[in-house]
Structure 1
């Protein structure tokens, strides 16, 4: 059940305590991929994961703005502070829990959100508001995960599969030519760079030419299968907290 399409009486009458919240970002993804890439991919994987399991799941609207100040030099990028993001996600999940949806998987499409989402999940769970678990799709695609960049092969492949009309195919070569090989400038295991504009001319990391639609289809299959497995585990888990020893 998608909350955007449901009525309040539909929600009242549903029989589940399991919900999914896609979380992304509105930020640059090079000259070829849309600013909404992280939201669009999170939504597609959330929907595909829900379809794979034989139980009812409430799908909440996506949270479209995240912790993305590292892309601030590129026009169109939006961001909020980590504090604001954590508060927004926590209160959003809290509102779901108030209606009985007390088991929540946060389906994430943006690397900058990872730490904050883990903190939010822990806080919600420890305080007894809800059992919340973050899931970042590009960590769950097997050997493909090592190719994760930014606007690179994985995100471009998935975008080509789910929203092909939004990928500017005539700019793929430009995106590749201005891309960085890796994230940041590393010396003695320390990253000297804080913003993507410091090491990438056009915001891209990795070669988007290596991400075709067939690869995107495989990524969606792998990520949605992993999400479905997680949803089943969250639905069945004993979420009572351990006693103080």
Structure 2
């Protein structure tokens, strides 16, 4: 059930303790893909996972701004500090838990959120407020994961499948021409760059031309199936904390 369109009595009558929260970012994705790419993809995967899950699941509204200062040179990008993000996500999940939805999967669409979401899940779980587990969709698509860039083939493919009108097809060549091959500038296993603008002219990493709608459909199937399995595991898990050794 989508809590955005449900009434409070609908939410009251849900017989589940399981919820998903899509988490994205509002940031540049090159000249061809919208600032809301990470929100749109997280929502699409969350919905696909809920549809595939045999259990009832409460689907919370998406959190649209994340840890994205690395894209600050590109107009339209928004960000908050990691501290603010952790507090906001944590309190949002705690509000769900207050109503009994205390097993939560955070469906993430932005790489910059990964570390903070793991910390949020740990804090909520250890404090006993809720059992929360982050799930980043592009880490759950098999061999495709190796092609994850930024505004590159995977995100463009998923948009072409789920929301084709959002992709500026007449700018794909421009996106490809100004793209970097990989994320960052690496020496001795250390990334010398902190901001995307240091290594990509237009914000793109990878070739968006390699992401067609058919690939997007496959990505959604893989990520949706993986999320459904995770939801089942979260629903079944003994979440009591282990005793001190």
TM-score (norm: length of structure 2) = 0.99
* 1:42-121 aligned within 5 A: 42-121=42-121
Q: What's the counterpart of residue 214 of structure 1?
A: 214
Distance 2:215 2:13 in 1: 40
Q: Which runs of 5+ in 1 are unaligned?
A: none
Inter-partner Cα distance in structure 2 for 1:55 and 1:181: 41
Q: Which runs of 4+ in 1 moved over 3 A?
A: none
Alpha-carbon distance between aligned partners in 2 of 1:53 and 1:223, rounded to the nearest angstrom: 12
Q: 1:96-115: per-residue Cα shift (whole Å, max 9, x none)?
A: 00000010000000000000
Q: Deviations over 1:54-80 (max 9, x none)?
A: 110000000000000000000000000
CA offset digits 1:81-101 (Å, max 9, x no partner): 000000000000000000000
Match for residue 180 of structure 1? 180
Equivalent in the alignment of 2:231: 231
State the shift of 1:187 in Å: 1.1
**Offset of 1:53 from its aligned partner?**
1.3
Q: How does 1:188-207 map to 2 (within 5 A)?
A: 188-207=188-207
Tell me the matched-pair count.
245
For residues 28 and 62 of structure 1, what CA distance do their matches in structure 2 show?
18
User: Using the alignment, how far apart are the partners of 1:42 and 1:4 within structure 2?
Assistant: 16
- Deviation per CA, 1:15-40: give whole Å up to 9, x if none: 00000000000000000000000000
Alignment root-mean-square deviation, CA: 0.4
Deviations 1:95-144 (A, max 9, x none): 00000001000000000000000000000000000000000000000000
Once the two structures are TM-superposed, the CA of residue 46 in structure 1 deviates from its matched residue by 0.2
TM-score when scaled to structure 1?
0.99
Shift of 1:222: 0.2
Q: Which residue pairs with 1:140 in the alignment?
A: 140
Deviations 1:177-201 (A, max 9, x none): 0000000111111111000000000
Alpha-carbon distance between aligned partners in 2 of 1:169 and 1:82, rounded to the nearest angstrom? 34
Matches within 5 A, 1:149-160: 149-160=149-160
- CA shift digits 1:132-191 (9 cap, x unpaired): 000000000000000000000000000111110010000000000000000011111111
State the 1:244 CA deviation: 1.3
Which residue number corresponds to residue 130 of structure 1? 130
2:170 alignment partner, SS class: helix
Unpaired runs of 5+ residues, structure 2, are none
